[in-house]
Amino acid sequence: MTEAAAHGKPAYLDVSRSFEERAKDLVSLMTLQEKVSQMVHDAPEIDRLGIPSYNYWNECLHGVARAGIATVFPQAIGMAATFNTALVKRMAEATSDEARAKHHEFVRQGDHGIYKGLTFWTPNINIFRDPRWGRGQETYGEDPFLTSRMGVAMVEGLQGDHPRYLKLAATAKHFAVHSAPEADRHHFDAIASPRDMRETYLPAFEALVREAKVEAVMGAYNRTNGEACCASTTLLADILRDEWDFQGHVVSDCWAIRDIWENHKIASSPEEGVAMAVKAGCDINCGEAYLFLLGAVEQGLIDEKTIDTAVERVMTTRMRLGMFDPPEMVPYTSIPYSVNDSEEHRALSHLVAQESLVLLKNDGTLPLKEGLKIAVVGPNAADAEVLVGNYSGQPSRSVTPLEGIRAAAGRHGGSVLYARGCGLLDTDESGFSEAVAAATYSDLVIACVGISQLVEGEEDPAKPWADRPDIDLPVVQQRLLEALARTGKPLVVVLLNGSALAVNWADSHAQAILEAWYPGEEGGTAIAEALFGEYNPGGRLPITFYTGVEQLPPLEDYAMQGRTYRFFEEQPLYPFGFGLSYTQFAYSDLEVTPRVAAGQSVNVSVRLTNVGPVAGDEVVQVYLTDDQASYPVPLRSLVSFDRVHLAPGESRRVGFTIGYRQLAAFDDEGTPVVEPGTFTVSVGGGQPIAQGGAPFVTGRLTVAG
């Protein structure tokens, strides 16, 4: 007899049993109505069983979101630009510390409301296949491998490494094949070939399930190949659970379940729709549609045993989070509230912002010289809101680009004149004269331009924006840049944005361009440090910057041909993986495993040397090209990377391992096939293409027959 049984406690409170056993016992004690009540995101208490109310809806895309004051890190697309998985994991650990501290304080005060729980609907690992998509800023970019590595780091940092308890429950979303059009997402059918599914859209989800053991997966709004994602037997049963052995729970996107009958029209009634979703494997409904399950059982559309399975999964997650155990058994309950918005976390946000910066152009104007009179202009220069992007928390204080530049100019014997010049989108040019005057009486102009949440974001009937019709800089801002350039003063452009901008004019006319993304609460400090040379920018683009929408297929087309660096055959404005530095790096002495047999990995190493005048970071990138595939394959694919810091003159050998599976092509059915033949391995500071301008070396390997 266990200790719990000896004291008359039910089995679900017996901490000596497995969480799965305890969850099964707890569900067996519930009525059907109680079970169904626990399958919506705002689950009520069941007092007789000691189950408190719980709201599953919580967000932490780049810091704890929508729950008051919290450390705000750079937006996810900026994290991807760091190409630094260890740093992203540290950021996720800091976020989970704040999340735990906040949650336990809320519980102590009896607050079980929305954004107060431990189940977080993060990360977004959809592939940013088109820069017009308003939510691409939430992702880790266009590459499946980079997205996988960043996503795994994020999940591991959020969920922790305790052998028994989850720190938080992370959620891989939106499963699957989801990335615009936002306005049509409730009825859109994303058609993707088996090859594109396996080669592009599914790898990151598989990595998070198999490697990071992500606790939850969120179904997308849209259909994929005819099936509503939240009721897709193919996605949720065949692939997620049967093939990948997923053990956690599945949650719908918010109000996506009602789309099954209202918009996708693949069910004739609410009862049929909810039964389809649960039978396919969707366990929690963000919304209230699952309350129709009671009628679905009465109509014989679903049996109670299937509902039991779903609720057992949900309750297992809550138990793994320690919600049914004494607090002293759960180590995360002791995290002090003081970690929230701490100076340590602010410093980490600053570091992530620094490493996210990508220098796109520099004719030698940067770093800025001492004693300059600087004109700072542009709609994003003094706007604190643009620092945070969407799904963010509220910083207790933030540093705008203007504030950061003012402080840095003071440290370097300079001065600043400020003029906004224009708004983000309006056509009013009345502020141009003030901006031109500031430029005229200065030595140099820093123009902080770009876009914001006013231009790109999530579908919302109350707002006019979501996806962008084009990728150009807003017209009024472009005209402002041209007016500033006519003064003859050197022009430095700082971009703040969550997706690619076709800044062709700036590339031709500005002296320097710095990409800053939505850089978080310390963004202004990081930007200024890079401009003045106190920090050497080393980030790389996680997306392709195209010259315009004319280089892109239609937004609604989910075929990968012609999209992203892997399948794009034209010359972009700036390629994926691109970024400059204030120093230079040289590659030499490449070694590649010359021949591999089935199941063997490939070892790659190269000597990297900082041959420039200052210390800096180099993102060493490894690309693979299948030279003899009998199936259509990408032009090249990123298969490994490492961010390396070297002092001037320092040299280091950098090594990588490429798994045998990474050598696979995909046949017409999406089956991976490693064929005999030769591969080109390219290692360097960017893609092995002329317009990238990055140094690289190449080698060959042969796969034995």
Active site residues: 253, 456
Q: Kindly report the number of other CB atoms within 10 A of residue 505's CB atom.
A: 15
Tracing tokens 């003071």 back to the chain, one arrives at 410
- Give the three-state DSSP class for 156: helix
CA distance 187 to 256: 10
- Give the three-state DSSP class for 474: coil
Question: Which region holds residue 264: left if phi is over 0, alpha if psi is between -120 and 50, else beta?
Answer: alpha
Cβ-based neighbours of 591, under 8 Å, separated by 6 or more: 603, 604, 605, 606, 699
- Asked if the peptide bond before residue 174 counts as cis, ω within 30 degrees of 0, the response is yes
338-372: b (≥16 Cβ within 10 Å) or e: ebbbbeebbebbbbbbbbbbbbbbbeebbbbeeeb
Token couple for 617: 């970071």
CA distance 183 to 181: 6
DSSP state, residue 322: T
Angstrom CA distances, 130 to 466, 499, 553, 560, 688, stand at: 13, 9, 9, 10, 22
With vertex at residue 307, the alpha carbon angle to CA 296 and CA 32, rounded to the nearest 5 degrees, is 75
**H/E element holding 5?**
helix 3-6
Tracing tokens 């996810």 back to the chain, one arrives at 76
CA distance 375 to 512: 15
Alpha helices in 129-220 (DSSP H): 144-159, 194-196, 203-210
Our separate counts of H helices and E strands in the chain read: 19, 24
Type of residue at 642: D
Q: Are 374 and 401 in contact (CB under 8 A)?
A: no
Token couple for 411: 């440290």
CA distance 594 to 585: 26
